[in-house]
Structure 1
Amino acid sequence: MNDILRYARHTDIDITFEVVPLLWNDGPAKVSTQSIHYRGGSRFSRVKEVLLQIRKKRRSADLVHIVDLPPWVGLLFSLAAIDKPILFGPNIAGRMFPEALLDNQTLSVIEEEKAPLLRQWRLYGERVERTKLSLLSSPLFQSQGYLCFSEFMRTILVERGLDADQIHPLRSGVPTDIFYPTDQTADTAEMPFELLFVGKPTKRKGLQVLFKAISTLSDEGFAVRVRILGSTAPPENITVPRSIREQITFAGRVERSALAEEYRRADAYVIPSYYELESTSMIEALACGTPCVATDDASFREIGTDASCLFFEKGNAISLAQAIESLYDDYASYRTGAVTKADKYDIKYTFDDLISVYRSVL
C-alpha cells in the first residue's frame, strides 16, 4: 500500500499517508489519512486512543479504509462504532495457513519448519484470525468489501468465510521508476548462467530443491551461479552441498534501488517456494524484464506468463534443473517476452483498481 500511495502523490489525487486507516473524501478526488501514535500504556488505553483518533478523523470522510486487520479483537469491535462504510484489506490474510488449499508436500514442509509455532497457531492464533474475519462480515460493520492482491488470496478469504462477491482483487504492481527493464535485451545468455533468489532462506522457500538442481546441472557440465539476497549465510537447517559452494553466494540485504539493479543484472530469477500468498519479488523481477523460473503453483501462475516464465513441478529438483536448461536454450525468446510484458506490473494499474473500488462504493 505504501507504493500505491507514493504513486498517488504524482497524480491529480492529493494524498498523505502515515498509518492506516485510509480515508477517502468524495468530491475533488482527495484522499487523506490519519496518523495513529501509540504512547504505551495498557492494551485497553491504546485501543481507546486509536478509536478516538479514528472517530475524530471520520467526520470529513465518506469511506474508511482499514488496510491491515487490527491486531486486537477489542479494536476490531471498537471499529464497529464508526458510522461510515468500511473497506478492509488487502493485508488481512498474511498470517494464514489455508490447509484446505495446500497439498500434502507443502503442508509437510510447513510442519517441519514451523512445528512449535504452528502448534501454538492452531491452538490460539488461527481461532483469533477466524474470529476477526467472522466479525468483518457481521452486521456490526457497514462493510462494503474486502481488498486483496490476487485471485489466490481471494480464494483463501472465501475459504475463511468471507463473501466472494464482496472481495475485490487488485492487480499487483511495483513502482516503475525503480523497477524497469534495461534498454538492452540479450539474444543469448552466457555461461555461467546467473540466477538470482531474493528472500529469507527457509525450507518453505525451497532452497534445498534449488541446491539439488544446481548439483544436477553441475554434474552435467552446465555452468550456473546463484546469488541469494536476504541473508549472509544459510540457516542451520539448510545445507549447501560442498560440491557447489563456490557457485552459491549469500549476499545479504541490499537497498531497494540496488535490488532493482540486481534483477536487471541477473539472467533469470528463480522461485522454488512451496507456498506463497503472493511473490512481490517475482513481480519486481518481471517488472525489470527478467525472465523467471518458478514453482508450478496457482499464486505464481497468476503473476507470470508463459512468454516470460518457465514453471516446474513443486519440490522436484530434476524438473527445476530441466526448466533452467530450457530457459537457457531459448533465452532470447523468454527475455524478450519478459521485457515486452514488463509494463503489466506497473503500480499505476494497482492504483487504478483501488480508485475504481472506492468509486463503486461511493
Structure 2
Amino acid sequence: MTKITALVMMNIYSNRPIGNQARMNDILAYSSYEGRDDIEFRVVPLILDEGHDSPDEDHIVLHEPSSRIDLLRNTFQAIRNHRADVDIVHFTSLQWYLLCHFLFGSRGNTVVGPNIGPPIPTSLRDTETIRFFQEHYPTQHLKDTHIRDRMTRWKLKTIDRVLNGSVRFIQCGQWPAEATLIERGIPEDRVSVFPPSVRTDIFYPRSSPRNQARRELLVVTSASKPLLKGFQILVDAVKQFEPSLSDVTIHVLGLGGWPDEKITGYESVRETFEFHGRIPREDLRKQYCSADALINPSYTEADGGTVMSEALACGTPVIATRGDAFETAALGNNTLFFERGNPDALAKAVNRFYRTPNRYWTAAREQVDAYDIESAYDVLVDTYERVLGRDK
C-alpha cells in the first residue's frame, strides 16, 4: 500500500487531553510506538496552552504557536506551503476548518473531525429532565446548549453547500456520530466512526485477576457543572447502599474538594467520599486498577465514552447512566446500566455489582483487547483511503 501523507491541523490541549481530542492524540502516539508507516503525519498544533503535550517527537511538527496571531499565521503558512505535497488535509476541529476554508480556501482531499460540536443529548430532549435543569440551572444553560446545536447545524450545511459534499467526517462513537452528523443531514456513507479505544501502552489490566473487593469505587470527572454530572444522584444513591456496603469509599478524580454548587444531603455521607484533584493521565491506570468499578452518574456524555473506555481497557467494570454515548463503550457484561437521573436505580446497580463482583471483573478482563487504539488507527487509514478513492 502506498504511504499516505496527511497534514493534520491538530487541537492540542494542556496535560490531559480529554474527550475526542484524546482519541486523535492517542492515534498519533500509537503510530510512533508501534512503528506504523501507513501514514506520514505532518502536525500543526492549533491550540497551545501552558504545559501542553506535543505530539510524539517522531512526527513532523511544522509550527509551535506562541500566540493567537502566531497561530493564525502558522496555519496559513502550513496550508500554503504543504497543501500541494500532501494527500490529505485533516482538520480535527469543525470550527477551525470553517475558518481556514473561508480565509485560505482549504480545498482538496479533506477530513474533518472528531471535534465536530456537541450533540443535543437525549436527556435534554426529555421534558422531565428539562424541568430538572430549569430548576437547578439558569435557563441560559439550556438556551446555550440549543444555540450551539443550531450553530453546528449551520456549519455543516455551509460545508456541504460550498464544497458540494466533498468533505468526509470522522467522529468518536456511533451515537455521537448519529447525533452530531447524521441527524444534522450528513449522509451516512460520508461518516466514519472511531470505535471506543485508548492507548493500551498506558491503560492495561493488572497482571493478576481481582479476587477480592476492596470496597473502593471511582468517579473521574471535570465536573464543571456538578448537578449535570450527577453528583446529587450519587449522594442520594449512597444513602441507599445496602448496610454491608457502609465501608465503601468513593474516590473522585478531577476535583480538589466538594463542588461549590449546592448538593443537598452531602454532610450525612461525607465520609464516603475522598477527593484527589487532577492527576496526570499516565497515573490514571493505577486508579482504575485499584478500584472495584468506575461510576459515571452523569446526565449526559458528549464524547465517545473516553473515561469509560480507559477503565474498561484496564479490566475495570463500569456502572453508568443508560443511553447516549454511555452505551458506545459497553461490551456485554463489562458495564451495568441504570436509569438516567434515578438514585434508587444507581444504588440497586451498585448493590447488584457487589453481590457478584467476580462476574463483572471476569467479563471486563475478557474484553480489554477490544479497546486497543489500533482499531481507531485502522479506521483513520480506511477513511483516508476512501477520500483518495483507493478503497475500490
Q: TM-score range by the shorter chain?
A: 0.7 to 0.9
Letter in 2 for 1:93: G
Let me know the Cα RMSD of the aligned residues.
2.8
Structure 2 counterpart SS, 1:66: strand
Equivalent in 71, 75, 81 of residue 50 of structure 1: 75
Task: Please say if 1:263 is aligned against 2:288.
Answer: yes
Measured against aligned partners, the alpha-carbon deviations of 1:117-152 in whole angstroms (never above 9, x if no partner) come to 4435656x4443332111222243663410001111
Which segment is superposed worse, 83-92 or 104-113? 104-113
Equivalent in 242, 252, 264 of residue 228 of structure 1: 252
Letter in 1 for 2:195: R
Corresponding pairs, count: 346
Q: Contact 2:98/2:159 (CA < 8 Å) preserved in 1?
A: no
Cα distance in 2 for partners of 1:100, 1:136 equals 28
Cα–Cα, structure 1 residues 121 and 330, in superposed 2: closer, same or farther, change >3 Å?
A: closer
Task: Please say if 1:131 is aligned against 2:131.
Answer: no
Cα–Cα, structure 1 residues 271 and 100, in superposed 2: closer, same or farther, change >3 Å?
A: closer
After TM superposition, list the pairs within 5 Å mapping 1:248-327 onto structure 2: 248-277=273-302, 278-327=304-353
- Structure 1's unaligned 5+ residue stretches are 22-29
Equivalent in 174, 187, 190 of residue 151 of structure 1: 174
Structure 2 counterpart SS, 1:116: helix
Cα distance in 2 for partners of 1:279, 1:106 equals 21
The structural deviation recorded for 1:225 is: 1.3
Task: Please say if 1:207 is aligned against 2:235.
Answer: no
Cα distance in 2 for partners of 1:270, 1:120 equals 28
Task: Please say if 1:90 is aligned against 2:114.
Answer: yes
Equivalent in 173, 179, 186 of residue 197 of structure 2: 173
Cα distance in 1 for partners of 2:217, 2:26 equals 26
The structural deviation recorded for 1:32 is: 5.7
Identity of counterpart residues, as a percentage?
31
The residue that corresponds to 2:216 in the other structure is: 194
Cα distance in 2 for partners of 1:263, 1:100 equals 27
The structural deviation recorded for 1:88 is: 0.8
Letter in 2 for 1:209: I
The structural deviation recorded for 1:33 is: 6.2
The structural deviation recorded for 1:359 is: 1.4
Normalising by structure 2, what TM-score? Answer: 0.80
The structural deviation recorded for 1:114 is: 5.7
Equivalent in 110, 115, 130 of residue 107 of structure 1: 130
Cα distance in 2 for partners of 1:246, 1:100 equals 31
After TM superposition, list the pairs within 5 Å mapping 1:235-250 onto structure 2: 235-239=259-263, 241-250=266-275
The structural deviation recorded for 1:70 is: 2.7
Measured against aligned partners, the alpha-carbon deviations of 1:159-215 in whole angstroms (never above 9, x if no partner) come to 22222221111112111111000012123425xx21100002311111111111111
- Structure 2's unaligned 5+ residue stretches are 1-23, 48-57
Measured against aligned partners, the alpha-carbon deviations of 1:30-82 in whole angstroms (never above 9, x if no partner) come to 986643636555xxx97576334312210111221111123485434235x23
Letter in 1 for 2:272: Q
Cα distance in 1 for partners of 2:338, 2:145 equals 31
Which segment is superposed worse, 52-61 or 325-334? 52-61
Cα distance in 1 for partners of 2:123, 2:198 equals 30
Cα distance in 2 for partners of 1:337, 1:151 equals 22
Equivalent in 130, 137, 140 of residue 163 of structure 2: 140
After TM superposition, list the pairs within 5 Å mapping 1:323-362 onto structure 2: 323-362=349-388
Task: Please say if 1:2 is aligned against 2:49.
Answer: no
The structural deviation recorded for 1:102 is: 3.3
Measured against aligned partners, the alpha-carbon deviations of 1:199-251 in whole angstroms (never above 9, x if no partner) come to 02311111111111111116676432100000111222242522210111111
The structural deviation recorded for 1:315 is: 0.9
Cα distance in 2 for partners of 1:46, 1:307 equals 46
Structure 1 counterpart SS, 2:337: strand
Which segment is superposed worse, 294-303 or 2-11? 294-303
Cα distance in 2 for partners of 1:100, 1:330 equals 30
